[in-house]
């Protein structure tokens, strides 16, 4: 798993979040899990810098914080992407080729399961069961259930987002131009 | 000097200091019990290797001798069908995730796994289980030693040495289940971490996971002809 680069202003955000959480939970060894939960609540994930800061303030080895963060499934070490892709690998989805779908996403996005694309557009996760096994293999994209997914549908899903993004960008550009023109008129 | 207690291990009367762990009391008296994870100096036992099982009269089922303190009049049996079954399975589970190439291993003939196999008549190969070994690269970054995660038995001795003995805190366990391994912060190589390369971890490793480069080189030296 590779570490993500921080975006602008994130460092400050991390320090304020960790500071606040440590103040409310305390710095005893027993509060490590509540602290990690609190930090993840505020930041959406556990950045490397946050783990280092927590280790320093709680006087624990950095590797121990990392060990706890990687032990529990509830913690994520990569930021959630703008679009969250969750591939179901429950029994039914596994039998119907869920791992092929996961692999398709991995290949198309050039990331591994549990990672986020460098532009933070997509994050890829595996889940155990989403409760609609008749629709296997299932993928949940931004809380929307995609049924009977095939590798072709994977391309389709990602293409939809790409088109959406392009349209949004075009719209923003148009709006910016309009504002500029209005400014000139005024 | 603390009080001594008398107990019976395998029909032999032995004496041990009160509060001593049964495993060490037996070993001190020349009675071998397989063990990987426990260290005499360690304050807390981890009891993770599941190999030091014994039967104690009055206790139901086999118990781990590293977690049990000796007491007066204790009657212990180190071998029984129940114990042997647990140890055999535990041992094979460890081997199913262990790179077995003893002849080319730096710890050949000094390996605890080989010793256990010899003492208990176990085979150093998989018979019932299938190998789950993943192809992991060997960390050759430290100056005088290497770390081969493919041979690690997850006993945690190196982590104890690192965190409790020399108090560096460079290594620990990460992830869980089959992915669990001893690693540094963010799973980088040892030389890039805060590791001081004091080799305390190498000294306590019971198997060939952490070994001196010099020991490996010795394997490739031409044999002397007489």
Give pLDDT tens digits for A134-177. Answer: 998 999 999 899 999 999 999 999 999 999 999 999 999 999 99
Among B80, B101, B116, the domain-final residue is B80
Q: Which residues of A touch B173 (CB under 8 A)?
A: 67, 71
Residue span of the structural domain in which B213 resides: 134-219
Q: Is residue A184's pLDDT more than 90?
A: no
DSSP state of A51: H
Q: Are A83 and A105 contacting, i.e. CB atoms less than 8 angstroms apart? A: no
Of A52, A60, A66, nearest to B174 by CB-CB distance is A66
Residue B106 CA to its chain's centroid (Å) = 16
Residues B142 and B205 in one domain: yes
User: Rounded to the nearest 5 degrees, what angle is found at the Cα of B38, between the Cα atoms of B2 and B65?
Assistant: 70
Among B54, B80, B106, the domain-final residue is B80
Residue B198, in any domain of the structure: yes
CATH of the domain at B191: 3.30.70.20
In degrees and rounded to multiples of 5, residue B178 shows phi and psi of -70, -20
Q: Is residue B193's pLDDT more than 60?
A: yes
User: Does B172 sit within 8 Å of A61, measured CB to CB?
Assistant: yes
Superfamily of domain A83-181: Glutaredoxin (3.40.30.10)
Q: Work out the angle between the directed axes of helices A32-43 and A48-58 (0-180°, nearest 10).
A: 150
pLDDT given for residue B2 in this prediction: 73
Chains A and B form CB pairs within 8 A to the count of 40
Residue count of chain A? 186
pLDDT given for residue B58 in this prediction: 92
User: Does A70 sit within 8 Å of B185, measured CB to CB?
Assistant: no
The owner of tokens 């080189």 is: B217
Helices (H), chain B: 22-28, 81-95, 112-120, 157-160, 200-204, 213-219
Interface test with B, best of A61, A74, A76 (most B CBs within 10 A): A61
Residues B76 and B138 in one domain: no
Q: Is residue B221's pLDDT more than 80?
A: no
Residues B8 and B76 in one domain: yes
Span between the terminal Cα atoms of chain A, in Å: 53
Q: Which residues of A touch B186 (CB under 8 A)?
A: 3, 48, 66
Look over chain A and give the mean of its residue pLDDT values, rounded to a whole number.
92
Q: Are B210 and B158 contacting, i.e. CB atoms less than 8 angstroms apart? A: yes
User: Rounded to the nearest 5 degrees, what angle is found at the Cα of B57, between the Cα atoms of B55 and B61?
Assistant: 45
Residue B119, in any domain of the structure: no
Look over chain B and give the mean of its residue pLDDT values, rounded to a whole number.
92
How far, in Å, CA of B172 to CA of B163, rounded?
Answer: 8
Q: How far lies B136's CA from each of B86, B99, B112, B139, in Å?
A: 28, 10, 22, 9
Per-residue buried b or exposed e for A127-158, using 16+ beta carbons within 10 Å of the residue's own CB: beebeebebbbbbbbeeeebeebeeebbeebb
Question: Binning pLDDT at 50, 70 and 90, where does residue A183 land?
Answer: confident
Give pLDDT tens digits for A75-122. Answer: 999 999 999 999 999 999 999 999 999 999 999 999 999 899 999 999
How far, in Å, CA of B177 to CA of B222, rounded?
Answer: 41
H/E run at residue A43: helix A32-43
Of A1, A62, A71, nearest to B185 by CB-CB distance is A62
Q: Quick check: A3 contacting B, CB < 8 Å?
A: yes
> What is this model's ipTM?
0.87
Q: Which residues of A touch B193 (CB under 8 A)?
A: 63
Residue B114, in any domain of the structure: no
Question: Binning pLDDT at 50, 70 and 90, where does residue A5 land?
Answer: confident
Residues sharing a CB contact under 8 Å with residue B74, sequence separation 6 or more, in sequence order = B5, B7, B8, B22, B56, B57
Give pLDDT tens digits for A15-26. Answer: 999 999 999 998
pLDDT given for residue B225 in this prediction: 63
Residues B75 and B147 in one domain: no
Q: Quick check: B225 contacting A, CB < 8 Å?
A: no
Of A1, A51, A63, nearest to B172 by CB-CB distance is A63
Give pLDDT tens digits for B97-148. Answer: 999 989 889 999 999 999 999 999 999 999 999 999 888 899 999 999 999 9
Q: Work out the angle between the directed axes of helices A10-25 and A32-43 (0-180°, nearest 10).
A: 140
pLDDT given for residue B1 in this prediction: 56
Question: How many domains does the structure of chain B reveal?
Answer: 2
Residues sharing a CB contact under 8 Å with residue A5, sequence separation 6 or more, in sequence order = A118
pLDDT given for residue B226 in this prediction: 61
Residue B126, in any domain of the structure: no
Residues B75 and B139 in one domain: no
Q: Is residue A68's pLDDT more than 70?
A: yes
Per-residue buried b or exposed e for B44-78, using 16+ beta carbons within 10 Å of the residue's own CB: ebbbbbbbbbbbbeeeeebbbbbebebeeebebbb
Phi-psi region of B199 (alpha: psi -120 to 50; beta: other; left: phi over 0): left
User: Does B187 sit within 8 Å of A64, measured CB to CB?
Assistant: no
Q: Is residue A186's pLDDT more than 90?
A: no
User: Does A3 sit within 8 Å of B185, measured CB to CB?
Assistant: no
Q: Are A65 and A75 contacting, i.e. CB atoms less than 8 angstroms apart? A: no
User: Residue B49 is encoded by which pair of tokens?
Assistant: 């290797």
Q: How far lies A54's CA from each of A60, A65, B184, in Å?
A: 8, 8, 16
Give pLDDT tens digits for B146-188. Answer: 999 999 999 999 999 999 999 999 999 999 999 999 999 999 9
B138: closest CA of chain A, how far (Å): 18
Of A60, A63, A67, nearest to B170 by CB-CB distance is A63
């Amino acid at each position: 798993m590779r570490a993500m680069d921080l975006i602008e202003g994130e460092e400050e955000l991390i320090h304020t979040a960790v500071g606040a959480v440590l103040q409310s939970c305390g710095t005893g060894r027993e509060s490590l899990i509540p602290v990690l939960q609190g930090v993840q609540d505020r930041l959406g994930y556990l950045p490397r810098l946050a783990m280092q800061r927590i280790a320093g303030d709680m006087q624990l080895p950095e590797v121990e914080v990392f060990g706890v963060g990687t032990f529990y499934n509830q913690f994520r070490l990569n930021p959630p992407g703008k679009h969250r892709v969750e591939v179901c690998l429950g029994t039914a989805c596994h039998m119907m080729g869920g791992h092929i779908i996961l692999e398709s996403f991995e290949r198309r996005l050039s990331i591994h399961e549990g990672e986020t694309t460098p532009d933070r557009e997509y994050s890829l996760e595996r889940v155990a069961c989403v409760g609609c096994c008749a629709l296997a293999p299932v993928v949940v994209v931004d809380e929307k259930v995609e049924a009977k997914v095939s590798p072709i549908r994977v391309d389709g899903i990602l293409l939809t987002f790409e088109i959406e993004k392009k349209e949004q960008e075009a719209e923003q550009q148009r709006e910016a131009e309009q504002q500029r023109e209005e400014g000139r008129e005024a | 000097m603390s009080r001594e207690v008398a107990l019976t291990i395998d029909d032999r009367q032995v004496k041990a200091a009160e509060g001593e762990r049964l495993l060490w009391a037996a070993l001190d008296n020349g009675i071998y019990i397989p063990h990987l994870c426990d260290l005499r100096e360690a304050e807390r036992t981890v009891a993770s290797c599941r190999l030091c099982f014994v039967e104690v009269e009055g206790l139901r089922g086999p118990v781990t001798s590293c977690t049990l303190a000796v007491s007066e009049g204790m009657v212990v049996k180190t071998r029984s069908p129940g114990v042997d079954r647990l140890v055999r399975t535990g041992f094979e589970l460890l081997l199913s995730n262990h790179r077995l190439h003893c002849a080319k291993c730096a710890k050949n003939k000094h390996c605890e796994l080989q010793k256990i196999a010899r003492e208990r008549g176990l085979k150093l190969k998989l018979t019932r289980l299938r190998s789950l070994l993943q192809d992991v690269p060997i960390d050759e970054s430290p100056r005088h030693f290497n770390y081969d995660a493919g041979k690690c038995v997850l006993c945690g001795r190196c982590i104890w040495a690192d965190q409790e003995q020399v108090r560096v805190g460079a290594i620990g366990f990460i992830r869980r289940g089959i992915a669990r391994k001893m690693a540094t912060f963010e799973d980088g190589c040892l030389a890039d971490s805060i590791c001081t390369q004091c080799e305390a971890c190498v000294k306590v490793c019971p198997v060939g996971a952490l070994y001196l480069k010099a020991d490996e080189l010795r394997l490739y030296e031409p044999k002397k002809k007489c």
